[in-house]
């Protein structure tokens, strides 16, 4: 079969749902998918932010979606079929020591980071399995691989998310449906605004990576396009790390060489 490598990342004629497209990584993912030719369905709890994202894309629409509401997710899946690409970004974190964590906080973090992800994978995965094609992209975190004090529940949800991705890949593969997760390092998004505003913390995190800086949200968009496109047609069940070497280097002290 002859391959046109000039079109390896093109998404012309494909329909992409981006959940959490109102800001941060979700917005940049939606813009990038649209720039490569996809029709983008921008979904967000804040529909005004989704509309703002959609207004910057040649072919797009905006919808309100509460991923914590099972009925909302199910109803959206019924409306937007067929669907070629699903990108899911929403997450939250409560930074506390285990001994200080409340069960209410535990439930809130698990509900958004893990339960909602499961619902998205199940609902849109069923749609894609039925049509015999599709690519699902979720967002994990370096905290699935390496933790720090105060990150217990967040890290546990991201580890769980990666297990869901691997299992879904095994179950959906026969139907030509791929699913992968992106594992970012520290990214300048609304979720990390509190850390960014603490200069000492911001600088410490920047120094931990091999590149010596935080990521911009747009630096995750290339990974999304890759996993959505024909360029990754043989990639499923994978965790794509985009962390500037954070998990590759033994980073708190650089000895003289």
In the set 5, 101, 154, 234, the catalytic residue is 154
Q: Could you give the CA distance from residue 129 to residue 173 in angstroms, rounded to a whole number?
A: 9
Rounded-to-integer distance, Cα 32 and Cα 126, Å: 25
Q: Find the length of the chain.
A: 257
Q: Within a 13 Å sphere around the CA of 45, how many CA atoms are in the beta-carbon half? A: 9
154 a catalytic residue: yes
The number of CA neighbours under 13 Å toward the Cβ of 60 is 27
Residues with catalytic function: 154
């Amino acid at each position: 079969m002859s391959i046109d490598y000039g079109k390896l990342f093109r998404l012309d004629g494909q329909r992409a749902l981006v959940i959490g497209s109102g800001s941060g990584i979700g917005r940049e993912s939606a813009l990038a998918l649209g720039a490569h030719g996809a029709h983008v369905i921008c979904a967000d709890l804040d529909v005004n932010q989704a509309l703002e994202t959609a207004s910057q894309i040649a072919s797009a629409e905006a919808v309100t979606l509460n991923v914590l509401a099972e009925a909302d997710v199910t109803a959206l899946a019924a409306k937007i079929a067929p669907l070629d690409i699903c990108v899911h970004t929403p997450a939250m974190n409560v930074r506390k020591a285990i001994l200080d964590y409340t069960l209410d906080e535990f439930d809130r973090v698990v509900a958004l980071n893990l339960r909602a992800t499961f619902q998205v994978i199940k609902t849109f995965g069923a749609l894609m399995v039925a049509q015999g094609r599709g690519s699902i992209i979720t967002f994990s975190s370096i905290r699935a691989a390496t933790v720090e004090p105060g990150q217990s529940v967040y890290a546990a949800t991201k580890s769980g998310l990666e297990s869901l991705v691997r299992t879904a890949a095994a179950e959906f593969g026969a139907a030509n449906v791929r699913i992968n997760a992106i594992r970012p390092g520290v990214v300048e998004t609304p979720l990390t605004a509190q850390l960014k505003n603490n200069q000492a913390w911001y600088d410490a995190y920047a120094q931990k990576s091999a590149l010596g800086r935080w990521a911009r949200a747009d630096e995750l968009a290339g990974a999304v396009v890759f996993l959505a496109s024909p360029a990754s047609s043989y990639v499923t069940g994978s965790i794509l790390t985009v962390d500037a070497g954070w998990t590759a280097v033994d980073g708190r002290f650089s000895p003289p060489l």
